Amino acid sequence: MKTENKLISTSLLTAITASLCCITPVLAIIVGTSGIASIFSWIEPFRPYLIGLTILVLGFAWYQKLKPKKEIDCECETDERPKFIQSKKFLGIVTGFAILMLAFPYYSGIFYPKTEKQIMVVEKSDLFTTEFKISGMTCASCEEHVNHEVNKLNGIVNSKASYENGNAIIEFDRTKTNEAQIEKAINSTGYKVTDKEEN
């Protein structure tokens, strides 16, 4: 039974670690310390291996739980029910939690508050679009974090961050904000602006 407990603990640990780089930005927003969001971005390259390890460990735990038990001829009474922590039900709960953790990057956007703004642009000539190259973003959660911080500024018309492209394309009213303020907002997330290009 100790082996089973170790398997369950290992699967939980690997599942949480696999999504830690995506969980941290959400926690940073909730706690209000957005600068810590990129702390675990170094884990992202290991994510496929951690996912594989989680699946292997859970698969082995289920195999151990479901394989037929060897019958031992014994006159003793062993009709003892297993403890909850050693039951199939508990293993099912652990498996469900592991799946939720592994899928976290795909639904993390629901945890970010939506910032709705009413923007009144007087002159179309005041609208500018700038592409900010950003290092450190590794998943959709990182994108949401950058968009959330940028949208706190007055004068932001549209913010579209992309971890795949390593950038954020920001449309803004130059009479209400500027590139320096936008760059400062992006850098406050823990991700860094490496370059910017006006479109």
Are 186 and 127 found together in one domain? yes
Are 104 and 192 found together in one domain? no
Has residue 169 been placed in a domain?
yes
Are 10 and 99 found together in one domain? yes
pLDDT at 22: 67
Are 97 and 145 found together in one domain? no
For the record, the structure tokens of 22 come out as: 């995506």
Q: How many domains is the chain partitioned into structurally? A: 2
Are 57 and 99 found together in one domain? yes
Has residue 76 been placed in a domain?
no
Q: Which domain holds residue 61?
A: 2-69+84-110
Has residue 148 been placed in a domain?
yes
Are 53 and 147 found together in one domain? no
* Nearest-angstrom CA–CA distance, 138 and 39: 11
For the record, the structure tokens of 169 come out as: 């394309």
The closest alpha carbon to 40, from 193, 198, 190, belongs to 190
Q: What is the 3-state secondary structure (H, E, C) of the chain?
A: CHHHHHHHHHHHHHHHHHCHHHHHHHHHHHHCCHHHCCCCHHHHHHHHHHHHHHHHHHHHHHHHHHCCCCCCCCCCCCCCCCCHHHCHHHHHHHHHHHHHHHCHHHHHHHHCCCCCCCCCCCCHHHEEEEEEEEECCCCHHHHHHHHHHHCCCCCEEEEEEECCCCEEEEEEECCCCCHHHHHHHHHCCCCEEEEEEEC
Q: Can you give the pLDDT of all 199 residues of the chain as single tens digits? A: 567 778 778 887 887 777 766 666 666 665 555 555 566 667 777 778 888 888 888 888 888 888 877 665 555 555 566 677 778 888 888 888 888 888 887 777 777 666 655 555 557 788 899 999 999 888 888 888 899 889 989 889 999 999 999 999 999 998 899 999 999 999 988 889 999 887 7
